[in-house]
Structure formats: structure tokens, C-alpha cells
């Protein structure tokens, strides 16, 4: 049966479509390199980090009080006030001391008058004795009176100095710049000598005061580097060094009081602030990778490592030393310079070509 022109055209179109399909199946598959994020492994000092809470205190804190007792007339400062050296902090009622000073002044004036009279009499008796008009006994009496008057005048001067000092002691002065941290008496109270009226934290440096367990003191060193940060805002921090360790543990808690001197603390680290002190014990050279890089191979920890020449990935088993909240410390399996995939690890297969979307160390 001869082929019609329409049938021949249909057969020709079918052959062309068949050849095109065969060519498409024979064309090689092109796989695009998968973008991944990586890090370059580097060895760094890693140790056990210990944190201890504490408070900020002044390195020098003084309880200021009067040297004499009396009724507190006024207190001129309150808690939180800044004071300067020589500033008046409080006053006692000076009435009794003023009366004592006036009595001492009167006694001194009388003693000096008696001394003047005794010296004048002694001088006259000496002249008479030298000329032979006075017996030795008369001159000795004049000399004894002069000595007694001298002693009485010295005693009166001492009493006057004491009375004057006591009047000056009715005023309490700041001995150095600082900040008032506590008050111990209110106006109208009768205070005893030495009782704390105002407590001043001197401007001689700040300490972070910590209660540290005995085990940490055994593992640590007095020269260890410590970072002290504000508990509410860890970005506010300062370096510190151990300045003082209590020789005896607290009877209740069993901890030792440790004072860490702050080096150039920021203004936000104020007196009384709650802080956290951190230090690292026994830092050693270790390899640390992000936790996101970790996968598994045959039930064991592994990571994807990128070959620098072919940009292909290979699954490499590793030995984990320990886990931290955001990282993994690797004991064995990686070396400095290895490129490890940190993002996209679940979608990779051995030998797959990758493209570095972002690299870090």
C-alpha cells in the first residue's frame, strides 16, 4: 500500500522527536556546587572557665567617729554623698568644751601671772644674795617658789592645749576623698567616743569581693587573670588581679573571702554593684569548632572536611573531648588548617563539590 504524503510527514516528525529525546538522555548531567559555610581550624587556648558572683567594694573603707563623747548636733552628709578631704561631716554640741576651754584659759593666765611674780622675786633675791645682804635660805625659798610657778604654768599650758583640742574634736572632718556608704548616728543622739557616725569608702581603688570555695583556691594561682563583669550588663567589664585572700574560711559557708583589685574599672562599676568574676584554669592548646558542624558517621561524631584543591567534601570521624554550650572541643581527628563545614552538613554527601559561602577562623 503506497504511503500518502500526510503519512510520510507524520513518520518524519516522529523520527525527529525520537532522535531529540535520545540526545537529551545522552547529555551529561551538570551538578551545581552546593554553597556551604565553613571555618578554618585553628588551635587556641581552652580551659575550664569558672564564674563566681560578688559585689564591688572600696579597697579602703573607714568608720569615722568623734574622739570625745557628746550630743550630736548635726550631720551634714548622707549615704551616697561624695566628700573631699577636710570637709565637715558632723558636729557635736560644743557648749561643755567651750566652757572647759575658757576655764583652761583662766587657769593659764593665773599661772603665768604667778610665774611672772615668782621670777621677779627670784631675780631680786638673787641680787641681794650676790651682794651679801640675804642669807642662803632666803634665796633658796625664792628659787623653790620660782620652780613651783614654772611647773604650774607648764601644767596650765597643757590643760589649755587639751581643752582646745577637745573643742576642735567636736567637729568631724573627712580625712580623704570618698563616698559616704553608711551613717551610724542621727542628730540628737548622745554618741560615745569612737562610735561610727559616718562610713566613708575612700577613692583609693575598687575591689570585687568574692566568696570562693576552697577547691578553687587550691586549683588557682594568685597571679591568674580575672575578668569582672556587671551581672546585669556583661558588656561592662574590667580586668582584675587577686589582691587579698582571707587566711580563714567562713564558719558557716566554708568559703574564703577573696578581694580582686579592679584595673581601670568603668564608671558603671559602682560601689555595691553585683558582679560576676570569671577566670580560666589550666588553659591548654585545643581545637574548638561550632556545635553546628557536628554530624555522625556510623554512630560516631564526625565532621565534613573540604579538600582545598578539589573543593570536594569528605566525612571525617573525630574524637570529642567535651561539649560546651555553643561549641565542641575536639581531642583528635582535626589539625590546624583543616576547612570544616559549619552550615548545611545534613545535605552533603561524600565527594560532593561545594562552594564556600562564608569562611571564618
Taking the C-alpha atoms of residue 196 and residue 201, their distance in angstroms, rounded to an integer, is 13
Above 90 in pLDDT, residue 135?
Answer: no
Predicted pLDDT at 221: 57
Pick from 11-20, 97-106, 269-278, 282-291 the range whose average pLDDT is largest.
97-106
Read off the DSSP letter of residue 110. H
* pTM as predicted: 0.58
Confidence of residue 111 (pLDDT cuts 50, 70, 90): very high
How many Cα atoms occupy the beta-carbon half-sphere of 231 within 13 Å? 12
Taking the C-alpha atoms of residue 361 and residue 357, their distance in angstroms, rounded to an integer, is 14
Tell me which of 226 and 284 has the higher pLDDT: 226
Asked if 82 and 179 touch (Cβ cutoff 8 Å), the reply is yes
- The helix-helix angle for 136-168 and 95-131 (nearest 10°) equals 160
Domains and CATH numbers, the chain: 34-46+285-360 (2.40.420.20), 50-60+204-284 (2.40.30.170), 64-92+172-203 (2.40.50.100), 94-169 (1.10.287)
Predicted pLDDT at 283: 57
Predicted pLDDT at 55: 93
**For 216-225, what is the mean pLDDT?**
68
Q: For the ranges 89-103, 222-236, 343-357, which has the lowest average pLDDT?
A: 343-357
Buried b (16+ CB within 10 A) or exposed e, 26-36: eeeeeeeebeb
Mean per-residue pLDDT over the chain, rounded = 84
Tell me which of 280 and 141 has the higher pLDDT: 141
**For 20-36, what is the mean pLDDT?**
57
Taking the C-alpha atoms of residue 14 and residue 7, their distance in angstroms, rounded to an integer, is 11
Tell me which of 7 and 217 has the higher pLDDT: 217
Q: For the ranges 2-6, 129-133, 152-156, 168-172, which has the lowest average pLDDT?
A: 2-6
Confidence of residue 15 (pLDDT cuts 50, 70, 90): low
State the burial class of residue 172 (Cβ atoms within 10 Å of its Cβ: 0-12, 13-18, 19+).
buried
**Nearest partner of 43 among 341, 291, 307, 329, judged by Cα:** 329
**For 257-276, what is the mean pLDDT?**
91
Asked if 257 and 217 touch (Cβ cutoff 8 Å), the reply is no
Amino acid at each position: 500500500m503506497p504511503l500518502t504524503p500526510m503519512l510520510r510527514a507524520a513518520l518524519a516528525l516522529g523520527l525527529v522527536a525520537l532522535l531529540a529525546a535520545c540526545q537529551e538522555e545522552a547529555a551529561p548531567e551538570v551538578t551545581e556546587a552546593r554553597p556551604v559555610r565553613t571555618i578554618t581550624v585553628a588551635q587556641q587556648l581552652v580551659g575550664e572557665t569558672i564564674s563566681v558572683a560578688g559585689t564591688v567594694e572600696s579597697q579602703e573603707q573607714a568608720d569615722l567617729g568623734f574622739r570625745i563623747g557628746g550630743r550630736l548636733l548635726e550631720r551634714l552628709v548622707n549615704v551616697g554623698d561624695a566628700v573631699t578631704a577636710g570637709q565637715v561631716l558632723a558636729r557635736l554640741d560644743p557648749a561643755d568644751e567651750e566652757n572647759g576651754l575658757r576655764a583652761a584659759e583662766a587657769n593659764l593666765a593665773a599661772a603665768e601671772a604667778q610665774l611672772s611674780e615668782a621670777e621677779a622675786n627670784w631675780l631680786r633675791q638673787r641680787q641681794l644674795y650676790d651682794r651679801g645682804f640675804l642669807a642662803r635660805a632666803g634665796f633658796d625659798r625664792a628659787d623653790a617658789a620660782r620652780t613651783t610657778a614654772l611647773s604650774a604654768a607648764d601644767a596650765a599650758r597643757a590643760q589649755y592645749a587639751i581643752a582646745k583640742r577637745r573643742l576642735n574634736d567636736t567637729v568631724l572632718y573627712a580625712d580623704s576623698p570618698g563616698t559616704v556608704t553608711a551613717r551610724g548616728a542621727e542628730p540628737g543622739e548622745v554618741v560615745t567616743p569612737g562610735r561610727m557616725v559616718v562610713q566613708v569608702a575612700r577613692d583609693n581603688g575598687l575591689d570585687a569581693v568574692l566568696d570562693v570555695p576552697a577547691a578553687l583556691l587550691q586549683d588557682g594561682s594568685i597571679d591568674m587573670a580575672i575578668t569582672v563583669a556587671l551581672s546585669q550588663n556583661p558588656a561592662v567589664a574590667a580586668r582584675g588581679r587577686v589582691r587579698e585572700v582571707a587566711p580563714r574560711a567562713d564558719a558557716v559557708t566554708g568559703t574564703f573571702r577573696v578581694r580582686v583589685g579592679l584595673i581601670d574599672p568603668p564608671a558603671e562599676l559602682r560601689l555595691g554593684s553585683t558582679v560576676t568574676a570569671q577566670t580560666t584554669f589550666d588553659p591548654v592548646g585545643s581545637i574548638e569548632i561550632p556545635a553546628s558542624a557536628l554530624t555522625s558517621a556510623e554512630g560516631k561524631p564526625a565532621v565534613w572536611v573540604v579538600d582545598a584543591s578539589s573543593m570536594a567534601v569528605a566525612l571525617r570521624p573525630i574524637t570529642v573531648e567535651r561539649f560546651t554550650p555553643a561549641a565542641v572541643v575536639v581531642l583528635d581527628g582535626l589539625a590546624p588548617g583543616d576547612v570544616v563545614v559549619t552550615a548545611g552538613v545534613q545535605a552533603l554527601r561524600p565527594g560532593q563539590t561545594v562552594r564556600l559561602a562564608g569562611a571564618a577562623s
